[in-house]
Amino acid sequence: MASFDQTASPKRCSRCDKSKSIEEFVRQSGSRMKEWSTCNICAETRKEKNKEIADLGNIRAANYDEDNVEEMIVENEDETPYDLADLEKFFDEPENLIENINEELYTNNQNEIIESRKAELNEDKKMFESLLTIVSDNIQNDSFYSTYQKLKQSLIAETIACQEALRAKHQQKTWHPPRRSKLAFWLQ
């Protein structure tokens, strides 16, 4: 067996973060004694918790064997949340009726999305007008104006790329957006 220096400075447990003597970190591993990073008390606590978890898992597994599941189904038969006749009727519906319903839902959803986007664009217009007002009020501030110029350059570049994409699309020509254009790519 290996001998450990009992006079060494105290060691801190990695679980409970308490300083303890080294002898409280030494325990058997196979046929040898080994020094661990957790104290013996934390190790025992952990072993007990692992046993409890394993026992709980075994209990749950025993409760859900096939016989118990069939008994649970028979016991809860009156509590079924659906009626089988309704399900059969649903599956007997003609496919085109279901497709029509899905198409109508899709169209309604698309209309709602378009309306919300229009409202968002109106808000954006107000924000851009507000930005232009702020810029015109602070036109003498050099650092503010240079920041605005950088923002404006990227917006103008995106706008030009989108205009070119739409023009090419209407003329049915092939057009490739600039590599840095994020909006124009989606207009192809």
Distance CA 115, CA 105 (A): 15
pLDDT digits (tens, 9 = 90+) for 96-149: 566 666 777 778 788 888 888 889 888 988 988 888 888 888 888 888 888 888
pLDDT digits (tens, 9 = 90+) for 19-74: 888 888 888 888 888 888 889 999 899 888 888 887 776 666 665 555 555 555 55
Distance CA 124, CA 162 (A): 18
pLDDT digits (tens, 9 = 90+) for 169-186: 767 666 565 566 655 555
Rg (CA), the chain: 36
Distance CA 151, CA 163 (A): 19
Does residue 1 have a pLDDT over 50?
no
Does residue 163 have a pLDDT over 60?
yes
Distance CA 114, CA 176 (A): 27
The domain spans of the chain are 11-67, 91-137, 142-188
